[in-house]
Structure 1
Amino acid sequence: MSPGVRVLRALLFLLDVGGARVLASGKSMGTEIDFKYALIGTALGVMISAGFLALKICMIRKHLSDQDSADLRNTAPDAQVIEL
Protein backbone atom coordinates (compact mmCIF):
# COMPACT_ATOMS: atom_id res chain seq x y z
CA MET A 1 0.00 0.00 0.00
CA SER A 2 1.36 3.41 -0.95
CA PRO A 3 2.09 6.05 1.72
CA GLY A 4 -0.55 8.36 0.24
CA VAL A 5 -3.29 5.81 0.82
CA ARG A 6 -2.16 5.28 4.41
CA VAL A 7 -2.18 9.00 5.10
CA LEU A 8 -5.64 9.35 3.54
CA ARG A 9 -7.01 6.48 5.62
CA ALA A 10 -5.56 7.96 8.80
CA LEU A 11 -7.01 11.38 7.96
CA LEU A 12 -10.46 9.94 7.27
CA PHE A 13 -10.31 7.94 10.50
CA LEU A 14 -9.37 11.04 12.49
CA LEU A 15 -12.15 13.08 10.89
CA ASP A 16 -14.65 10.29 11.59
CA VAL A 17 -15.96 10.41 8.04
CA GLY A 18 -18.73 7.92 7.32
CA GLY A 19 -19.41 7.09 10.95
CA ALA A 20 -22.95 6.20 11.91
CA ARG A 21 -24.69 8.80 14.02
CA VAL A 22 -27.18 7.50 16.58
CA LEU A 23 -29.62 9.64 18.49
CA ALA A 24 -30.44 9.18 22.18
CA SER A 25 -33.71 7.53 21.18
CA GLY A 26 -31.73 4.77 19.45
CA LYS A 27 -32.81 5.75 15.95
CA SER A 28 -30.18 6.26 13.32
CA MET A 29 -29.80 9.85 12.24
CA GLY A 30 -30.51 10.08 8.51
CA THR A 31 -29.20 12.67 6.13
CA GLU A 32 -31.69 15.46 6.59
CA ILE A 33 -31.21 18.60 4.54
CA ASP A 34 -32.61 21.79 5.97
CA PHE A 35 -33.58 23.55 2.74
CA LYS A 36 -33.91 26.94 4.43
CA TYR A 37 -30.23 26.97 5.34
CA ALA A 38 -29.24 25.45 1.99
CA LEU A 39 -31.03 28.29 0.18
CA ILE A 40 -29.50 30.93 2.45
CA GLY A 41 -26.03 29.50 1.87
CA THR A 42 -26.56 29.29 -1.88
CA ALA A 43 -27.84 32.86 -2.05
CA LEU A 44 -24.90 34.10 0.00
CA GLY A 45 -22.47 32.23 -2.23
CA VAL A 46 -24.03 33.63 -5.39
CA MET A 47 -23.96 37.19 -4.01
CA ILE A 48 -20.31 36.91 -2.95
CA SER A 49 -19.38 35.44 -6.34
CA ALA A 50 -21.26 38.17 -8.22
CA GLY A 51 -19.64 40.88 -6.10
CA PHE A 52 -16.18 39.43 -6.70
CA LEU A 53 -16.84 39.20 -10.45
CA ALA A 54 -18.09 42.81 -10.56
CA LEU A 55 -15.01 43.95 -8.62
CA LYS A 56 -12.69 42.14 -11.05
CA ILE A 57 -14.47 43.65 -14.08
CA CYS A 58 -14.19 47.15 -12.57
CA MET A 59 -10.49 46.62 -11.83
CA ILE A 60 -9.83 45.43 -15.40
CA ARG A 61 -11.71 48.41 -16.86
CA LYS A 62 -9.79 50.84 -14.64
CA HIS A 63 -6.50 49.22 -15.59
CA LEU A 64 -7.35 49.44 -19.30
CA SER A 65 -8.43 53.08 -19.04
CA ASP A 66 -5.23 53.93 -17.14
CA GLN A 67 -3.19 52.28 -19.88
CA ASP A 68 -5.09 54.13 -22.60
CA SER A 69 -4.59 57.51 -20.95
CA ALA A 70 -0.89 56.75 -20.40
CA ASP A 71 -0.55 55.80 -24.07
CA LEU A 72 -2.19 59.05 -25.15
CA ARG A 73 0.20 61.08 -23.02
CA ASN A 74 3.24 59.28 -24.38
CA THR A 75 2.35 59.11 -28.08
CA ALA A 76 3.88 62.39 -29.24
CA PRO A 77 6.15 63.95 -26.61
CA ASP A 78 8.14 65.89 -29.25
CA ALA A 79 5.15 67.23 -31.14
CA GLN A 80 4.94 70.99 -31.45
CA VAL A 81 1.82 72.75 -30.36
CA ILE A 82 0.62 75.31 -32.90
CA GLU A 83 -1.32 78.21 -31.44
CA LEU A 84 -3.44 80.43 -33.59
Structure 2
Amino acid sequence: MQFTVHAAKTNLSKLIELAKAGEEVVIAKGKTPVARIVPIAQKSFTIGLLKGKIERGGPDFFEPMAEDELELWEGKV
Protein backbone atom coordinates (compact mmCIF):
# COMPACT_ATOMS: atom_id res chain seq x y z
CA MET A 1 0.00 0.00 0.00
CA GLN A 2 1.34 3.42 -0.91
CA PHE A 3 0.56 6.65 0.92
CA THR A 4 1.54 10.26 0.39
CA VAL A 5 3.62 12.04 3.01
CA HIS A 6 0.56 14.03 4.12
CA ALA A 7 -1.58 10.88 4.49
CA ALA A 8 1.27 9.15 6.34
CA LYS A 9 1.58 12.02 8.84
CA THR A 10 -2.17 12.01 9.40
CA ASN A 11 -2.46 8.22 9.80
CA LEU A 12 0.92 7.18 11.20
CA SER A 13 -0.50 5.00 13.98
CA LYS A 14 -2.69 3.13 11.50
CA LEU A 15 0.22 2.64 9.11
CA ILE A 16 2.36 1.22 11.90
CA GLU A 17 -0.38 -1.26 12.74
CA LEU A 18 -0.63 -2.25 9.05
CA ALA A 19 3.14 -2.85 8.94
CA LYS A 20 2.98 -4.92 12.14
CA ALA A 21 0.24 -7.01 10.52
CA GLY A 22 2.54 -7.78 7.57
CA GLU A 23 1.34 -5.20 5.03
CA GLU A 24 3.93 -3.42 2.91
CA VAL A 25 3.57 0.29 3.67
CA VAL A 26 5.31 2.69 1.29
CA ILE A 27 5.43 6.46 1.69
CA ALA A 28 5.68 8.48 -1.51
CA LYS A 29 6.56 12.07 -2.26
CA GLY A 30 4.21 12.78 -5.09
CA LYS A 31 4.24 9.52 -7.04
CA THR A 32 7.85 8.63 -6.18
CA PRO A 33 8.26 6.07 -3.36
CA VAL A 34 10.79 7.36 -0.82
CA ALA A 35 10.37 5.29 2.34
CA ARG A 36 8.98 2.03 3.65
CA ILE A 37 7.56 1.26 7.08
CA VAL A 38 8.55 -2.21 8.24
CA PRO A 39 8.11 -3.92 11.61
CA ILE A 40 11.14 -4.67 13.77
CA ALA A 41 11.37 -8.34 14.72
CA GLN A 42 10.71 -8.78 18.43
CA LYS A 43 12.90 -11.21 20.32
CA SER A 44 11.16 -13.47 22.73
CA PHE A 45 12.59 -14.07 26.18
CA THR A 46 12.05 -17.35 27.96
CA ILE A 47 12.70 -17.61 31.68
CA GLY A 48 14.52 -20.81 32.56
CA LEU A 49 15.70 -21.42 29.00
CA LEU A 50 18.79 -23.36 30.15
CA LYS A 51 17.17 -25.07 33.13
CA GLY A 52 18.39 -28.67 33.31
CA LYS A 53 21.03 -28.09 30.61
CA ILE A 54 23.82 -26.73 32.81
CA GLU A 55 25.63 -29.04 35.20
CA ARG A 56 26.14 -27.72 38.69
CA GLY A 57 28.97 -30.18 39.41
CA GLY A 58 31.72 -27.80 38.29
CA PRO A 59 34.60 -26.61 40.49
CA ASP A 60 33.74 -24.73 43.64
CA PHE A 61 35.86 -21.60 43.66
CA PHE A 62 35.29 -20.98 47.34
CA GLU A 63 36.88 -24.24 48.50
CA PRO A 64 40.62 -24.25 49.31
CA MET A 65 42.98 -25.60 46.62
CA ALA A 66 44.93 -28.80 47.07
CA GLU A 67 48.50 -28.08 48.26
CA ASP A 68 50.14 -29.25 45.00
CA GLU A 69 47.78 -27.07 42.89
CA LEU A 70 48.41 -24.08 45.17
CA GLU A 71 52.17 -24.48 44.80
CA LEU A 72 51.82 -24.56 41.01
CA TRP A 73 49.59 -21.47 41.10
CA GLU A 74 52.07 -19.57 43.29
CA GLY A 75 55.04 -20.65 41.15
CA LYS A 76 56.77 -22.60 43.91
CA VAL A 77 57.33 -25.68 41.75
Please indicate the TM-score interval, normalised by the length of the shorter structure: under 0.3
TM-score (norm 2): 0.25
- Give the structure with the higher percent helix: 1
- Give the structure with the higher percent strand: 2
